[in-house]
Structure 1
Amino acid sequence: MDAIRVSKVEQVIYSKPGSVSSGTVHLTAHHIIFRYDDVEEKEVWMPYPLISLVNRLPQTLLGKSQINFHTRTFESFSLTFNKESEASDVFETVKELTVATSVNQLYAFFYTPTPPLTSEGWTMYSPRDEYVRMGVGTRSKAWRFTDLNKDYNFCPTYPSRLVVPTRISDTTLQYASKYRSKCRIPILAYLHWANFGSITRSSQPMVGLSQSRSVQDEKLIEAIFQSHWSPESRVTNANVYGATPTNLIVDARPTVNAVANTAKGAGTENMDYYKEGKKIYLGIDHIHTMRESLAKVVEALREADQLLASINNDLHEQSTELAVLDKQALRRSGWLRHIAAIMEGTLIITKNIHVNSSHVLIHCSDGWDRTSQLSALSQLCLDPFYRTIRGFEILIEKDWLSFGHKFLDRCGHLSSDKFFLSPTGDTNSGSGADAAQAFLASMQNKFGSQSHLKETSPVFHQFLESVRQIQRQYPERFEFNERFLRQLYYHLYSCQFGTFLFNCERERKVGDGVNPPPCERTISVWDYFNSAEEMALNRNPAYDPSLDDPSRRSSDADMGVLFPSPKDVRFWHELYGRTDEEMNGKFVPPQTREIELTGPVENAEDDPVPHKTTVTEQLQDHPSKQTALENTMSSSLNVQSSGPRKSSPGIAASLQDLSLSLPDLTTMRPGSSRNSNAAASPSNPAQSRSGPSSTRPANSPIWSRAMPPELLSGSGVKSVWGKLSSNASAAFSVVQDAYAGVAKDLINSGASHAEESPERTSELRGRETLGAWGQDRSGSRSPQPRSTDNSNLNLTNPWATTSRPNRYVSLLEENPWGAPAEPDVRSNVAPSSSPQITPASDLPLDPTIGTIPTYRRPAATSGFSSRERNSPKPVPPAAPHSPSSATAVDSDPLGVGFL
């Protein structure tokens, strides 16, 4: 190949921790090989994709040139050359062959085993056979197969064969797919052998800032959670004995991540609409945190190797028993804490399925990282079949390869120039231009082409390490041993087989449409593991399948279901090439979690992720208005991603409180009084924390008041008024835009809301269902004496310019944007007083902008100053009365007109 500058270099010193040898380096198209001068030593073969970092050091005073190699299997070695040119050629050759530009250049497309392996690996997993083994179609009729995705057009990242509830049609599934990220709807992953409990998996719902909902998605999850009921038929008329209402929606993310995704148009379920279950947040961090955590572990290992190498140079063989690995650095990496979080979620799911005989729906963001970890580990604990060698291979095929995991992106098989470091200049060169060019090249190496590296993360590595934790706690329950897992990790990155090279089933079985599919051009890794030699090496001699017999009645019988301890986690020291004493010590303290479990969440009020749907329920049938509202509000949001989360109202809550004439914002905090005098009291600690500007009079305009810092602080979302506090007209525009679509929808619909709760929807009702201006909320049109009891005071008028005594204030009476009171058409009773119409201007009225009316109050109206009672207030001219105009006026609850 043209990339190979040199194929063989002799008299090379090969150094690794604890040994130094001499030999010859061979460079092939897919391996770097070191052959010892001692013929009794076995050759070292290193596939290029296993290389994680290469560092070429400057030439020494003795003329030696050294290249340091670090691998994905946590090994380090160095090659020392006698000539600088030889080191340069080897470095550039390894770089060209490691940084592939296409997956088709990887070793799997050129590998030909000798002797040939069987070709059953690609067909060993049959979705129909596996789900029938679980009981789909035999023990339970509540589930069915669908070919909706047989051409991968429904969901490109899902398998071609899906299992869904029998009660749900394919049409409903097509509508429900629009509500889930990447169209990854809830699909059956596992049906428990001991009962009808199930594990389903999906991606996050597309809730967004507008808090949208999908009836089809709600019906789909309802059918999943009710599959205990009469599983032999489509009708839900009988309950299965032992079923309990503990169905769970498991959101694997921290709550702050769910809120951040809400700002991006996604989010988490509003439990007001999923009454068949509860929801919990596991608090497992995203792929970037996991990548950084493992990097800290690798850094601690490399520092230990460097320290040990320097000690070896001084003490030689006396240093072989020294333990130089910093255990505190390993603890600070947080790696074991992340493993414990995954194990904790696995234990919750396992208990809910087996003990509670219930159902679990698992999702994270897109449903192919943390979801695959939790789903596969839970099935490993629930079903003894998956703890056999063949069963474990089928489990990986089903929950990782078939359901989709981005192996190509997460494993970084194509590598990057960033991982090849070389000296910035030639010490023998006297040209400053050459040195500058070399420096720029190194900087480009370091910072260029790193966008795809952000997708890398040790997700499958974490899964294998979690399996090792369970295997260590239950050594007699697994047919395979620790070597099997370690070999699987090795071939995850070796790219010798085609199993772990692609992101989904479609890419493996269909390909690019030009060449034959990869499943026909590469060898499956299962063909290698199922060979006779490997099977003999990977079997666990302590395996006792009788312990998994469900009929066993001994004192330690567990029906074959394992409940691993999340506190008993240790580093997989064999994988890292260290001893247990070196990495874990004699005692490993329990791994405490910084983010505790959140839940269970039964409704939106308990959810730490904001959910308020009073306004958004009315916007569901009008996508254009919903999109306009989302665009308007998203510009005023600032989502934070750190710190613990508390339950707090969301964006819709701010709109709802705004529709209630904007009461004092300090009343939104739990425990605060709604009394305006109490809120303005100097003894109020909330006001004292708001800063110097909090001393403004309570009767100042709302946009000039200081916003309390506690408002929405728990959710990390700033109030919309934070961006609009300097411009009252802008605030009016936002409110008008938000409610314009709602007001239009309420035309001719006043009576349709007669039975709705007044606390939630009174601001959205038709005018005929509400009292007129100045009337009490009981609906009576006769003047009522006003009570002087302050106990009923729960609202203040923020638009007033002077202070007034405490009294009961009607919502409609204090609405500064309301329309004049209209005669009651139904009862033909005129209002108690008719305001005088005064032209506001000599110019004609703008038909596109609603005029803000004001009213002359009768002298008997209490609560207003004499200046307010006596000053003339212009009122817009009344439109000619007609059925159409009356309907329009009656259905405009805010009186702001329509845009």
Structure 2
Amino acid sequence: MEFTELIATPKLDGVILHSSFYEPVDGTLCISGHHLLLSSRKEDVQELWLLHQSIDLVEKKPNGTNSNYQNGGTIILKCKDLRILHLDIANTEEFLNVYASIERLSNLDNSIYLYPFFYRPNYNILEDGYTLFKPEIEFAKLLTSDEWRLSHVNKNYSVCASYPSTLVVPKQIDDETLTASANFREGGRFPVLSYRHENGAVLLRSSQPLLNNSNRRCRADEKLLNTILGSTKKGYIIDTRSPGYANHCKSKGGGTEPDGYYPQWRKSHKNLDKIANCTGALLDSFSKLIDACNDVNSSADKWLSRIESSNWLTYVTNALNVSCLVAQCLDQEGASVLVHGTYGLDSTLLVTSVAQVILNPDCRTVRGLQALIEREWLQAGHPFQTRHAKFCYSTARNKNQQPTFLLFLDCMYQLYYQFPCSFEFTTQMLILLFEHSYFSQFGTFLGNCEADREKLEVPKKTTSLWSYLNRPDVLTSLLNPLYEPNKTAIWPSVAPVSLMLWNELYLRWTVEQTQQKKAMNKIYALIQNDKNARSQVIKLRKQLMDLQKEYDTIINIEEAIEDDGETCTT
């Protein structure tokens, strides 16, 4: 396929761009294979540089009331970063051509035509982000023990299509047992290690067992889980579905672990059904939230009512609640935990990720967060390509598209809001992760799993987002000047009064953020100056202490000389 076949009008003068907080711009519109560009000859005028992949919905609106578009019209671009742009085009034929071109280019099905495969960075790659967080590196210390090993049972992705080729498993469990356990789990997602707490308790994740309506057992699966606990310890199975929905899944061959066959494991059901099972409700909820955020004409009471009725913050609350429960089991009871829903691709990863941020201070650093996303989302097989194909504006979205990863980032924001000094990065990094997960020049979030990325040769043909973010000039702009390393767990409040709407993201195109940014920059500058001043004071204090030591030494030498002189005289 040639991109020129999809572009009916590659260049058009006299297009007027309308966007939030800017005056209309009259300029030249250019359509390339991957970008929509609008430039003006006037200086200091906003220009548009938009990836087609970032467009969620294209609408056309004719001028006047004539439905045959004789007077041109307006093309409305609703983007995955929540922007809404308007392009006014006077010529009817060009208006329709531009609309058709953007519609085709923003809905390419084949990943190989996406921009990451064409992007060439204009900077030197200092480190390869695709090799930074391999399991053998992330779990290096753990693998030196007698408890865990690397398994390559899934090296051809034949045991589990959504798992990576290398997995961390108990040393006492052989690959045949793992394969048998995979045959007992939905999609082959047998229990694997997610995190080991400092007290020795471990966090596992998997999909639901396949009971086939007969409570059938799998001795290999039981052996795998019981080996992790040993003969005396107890553990928890956190099923992210309600008892009712778990029973519904049982009627279709799934279900949850039979108590009699897992006596060392205590089970608890938590109602995250709409996240765990891709009903489409999560994206519908977010769509209502954004509709409310974009409504600038509502009264304050009506606006708050619409925010509340969207139920988005309810999802945030529930996710934090379950994550805190898992973290408490690990930290306060020293008990190992297995988390799963139906498929183990959404609510499972959400809960295990947030629990680790609560417990593990390393996950609150830049590198630690990148490693967490690699480990718990990318390597764990969260289907980004499917989930992020459409967003909240699209009228063509389906139940397989939902913003689980954005919900995770919102939970991170809530933790950041309550513990702003415990995170090495600012919320701008979370916003960047949100945007790049939906559209990007980097290949990190391409495909649905490692197998997809290997098939597409993503590590060879694209650039990693981590390679970009870890460049010193980029990294410094993301660091939090308030950061003070906190080695303890952070326990958030989940009371409604403690949770905040993420204004910096959800309202950034409807409420002017310039003054808030200026204020924060001033605060950060003052803090940095204060840190620099404190650093200078500490340095001077050290110099004074060194001088004092030298002075004391000289005095002692002089006193010793005087004493020697007196002794000689005597």
TM-score (norm 2): 0.83
Q: Which has the higher strand share?
A: 2
Query: Aligned pair in 2 of structure 1 residues 256, 99: CA closer, same or farther (>3 Å)?
Result: same
* Contact 2:54-2:439 within 8 A present in 1 as well: yes
Is 1:497 paired with 2:442?
yes
Specify which of 572, 583, 608 is matched with residue 502 of structure 2.
Answer: 572
Q: Distance in 2 between matches of 1:520 and 1:81?
A: 41
Is 1:482 paired with 2:427?
yes
For the residue of structure 1 that corresponds to 2:416, the secondary structure is helix
> Residues 215-230 of structure 1: matches in 2 within 5 Å?
215-226=219-230
Shift of 1:20: 3.2
Shift of 1:4: 1.4
When structure 1 is superposed on structure 2, of 284-293 and 485-494 the one drifting more is: 284-293
The match for 1:23 is: 26
> Residues 221-370 of structure 1: matches in 2 within 5 Å?
221-226=225-230, 245=234, 247-284=235-272, 285-286=274-275, 287=278, 288-302=280-294, 304=295, 307=297, 326-370=303-347
Q: Distance in 2 between matches of 1:187 and 1:22?
A: 54
> Residues 530-679 of structure 1: matches in 2 within 5 Å?
530-545=470-485, 547-548=486-487, 560-567=488-495, 568-578=498-508
Is 1:46 paired with 2:38?
no
The match for 2:525 is: none
The match for 1:196 is: 200
Q: Distance in 1 between matches of 2:511 and 2:211?
A: 49
Query: Aligned pair in 2 of structure 1 residues 48, 9: CA closer, same or farther (>3 Å)?
Result: same
Q: Distance in 1 between matches of 2:57 and 2:510?
A: 26
The match for 2:389 is: 412
Q: Distance in 2 between matches of 1:580 and 1:563?
A: 32
* Contact 1:252-1:370 within 8 A present in 2 as well: yes
Deviations 1:845-890 (A, max 9, x none): xxxxxxxxxxxxxxxxxxxxxxxxxxxxxxxxxxxxxxxxxxxxxx
Q: Distance in 2 between matches of 1:117 and 1:40?
A: 32
> Residues 66-215 of structure 1: matches in 2 within 5 Å?
66-118=74-126, 120-133=128-141, 135-138=142-145, 141-193=146-198, 195-215=199-219
Shift of 1:50: 1.2
When structure 1 is superposed on structure 2, of 60-69 and 4-13 the one drifting more is: 60-69
Q: Distance in 2 between matches of 1:582 and 1:42?
A: 16
When structure 1 is superposed on structure 2, of 262-271 and 163-172 the one drifting more is: 163-172
Shift of 1:120: 0.7
Q: Distance in 2 between matches of 1:369 and 1:34?
A: 38
* Contact 1:495-1:501 within 8 A present in 2 as well: no
RMSD between aligned residues = 2.5
Deviations 1:102-151 (A, max 9, x none): 11111111111123434511101121121124x3433xx22222222222
Query: Aligned pair in 2 of structure 1 residues 42, 532: CA closer, same or farther (>3 Å)?
Result: farther
Aligned AA (2:417): R
For the residue of structure 1 that corresponds to 2:328, the secondary structure is helix
Shift of 1:37: 4.7
Shift of 1:384: 1.0
The match for 1:676 is: none
The match for 1:3 is: 6
For the residue of structure 1 that corresponds to 2:502, the secondary structure is coil
* Number of matched pairs: 499
Q: Distance in 2 between matches of 1:218 and 1:355?
A: 25
Aligned AA (1:100): L
Aligned AA (1:263): S
Is 1:521 paired with 2:455?
no
Q: Distance in 2 between matches of 1:18 and 1:393?
A: 33
Q: Distance in 2 between matches of 1:580 and 1:276?
A: 53
Q: Distance in 2 between matches of 1:123 and 1:470?
A: 29
Shift of 1:298: 2.4
Aligned AA (2:153): L
Shift of 1:504: 1.0
Q: Distance in 2 between matches of 1:276 and 1:491?
A: 42
The match for 2:563 is: none
Aligned AA (2:484): D
Query: Aligned pair in 2 of structure 1 residues 473, 117: CA closer, same or farther (>3 Å)?
Result: same
* Contact 2:82-2:509 within 8 A present in 1 as well: no
Aligned AA (2:12): V
Unaligned ranges ≥5, structure 1: 227-235, 309-321, 420-445, 549-559, 584-899
* Contact 1:350-1:563 within 8 A present in 2 as well: no
The match for 1:708 is: none
* Contact 2:25-2:45 within 8 A present in 1 as well: no
Q: Distance in 1 between matches of 2:176 and 2:5?
A: 55
For the residue of structure 1 that corresponds to 2:264, the secondary structure is coil
The match for 1:402 is: 379
Q: Distance in 1 between matches of 2:224 and 2:381?
A: 21
* Contact 2:135-2:168 within 8 A present in 1 as well: no
Shift of 1:7: 2.1
Shift of 1:28: 1.5
Q: Distance in 2 between matches of 1:497 and 1:173?
A: 34
Aligned AA (2:9): V
Shift of 1:152: 2.0
* Contact 2:17-2:87 within 8 A present in 1 as well: yes
Q: Distance in 2 between matches of 1:156 and 1:65?
A: 47
Unaligned ranges ≥5, structure 2: 514-570
Query: Aligned pair in 2 of structure 1 residues 70, 474: CA closer, same or farther (>3 Å)?
Result: same
The match for 1:56 is: 60
Shift of 1:323: 6.5
* Contact 1:251-1:281 within 8 A present in 2 as well: yes
* Contact 2:186-2:254 within 8 A present in 1 as well: yes
Q: Distance in 1 between matches of 2:508 and 2:318?
A: 24
The match for 2:530 is: none
Greater Cα radius of gyration, structure 1 or 2: 1
Q: Distance in 2 between matches of 1:540 and 1:575?
A: 18
Higher relative CO (Cα under 8 Å, sequence separation at least 6) belongs to 2
* Contact 1:225-1:359 within 8 A present in 2 as well: yes
* Contact 1:30-1:97 within 8 A present in 2 as well: yes
Q: Distance in 2 between matches of 1:580 and 1:34?
A: 22
For the residue of structure 1 that corresponds to 2:255, the secondary structure is coil
Shift of 1:526: 0.7
The match for 1:729 is: none
* Contact 1:21-1:36 within 8 A present in 2 as well: no
The match for 1:32 is: 36
Shift of 1:541: 0.6
* Contact 1:190-1:198 within 8 A present in 2 as well: yes
Q: Distance in 1 between matches of 2:26 and 2:153?
A: 59
Shift of 1:23: 2.2
Aligned AA (1:71): C
Q: Distance in 2 between matches of 1:256 and 1:10?
A: 60
For the residue of structure 1 that corresponds to 2:503, the secondary structure is coil
Q: Distance in 2 between matches of 1:256 and 1:54?
A: 40
Q: Which has the higher helix share?
A: 2
For the residue of structure 1 that corresponds to 2:139, the secondary structure is helix
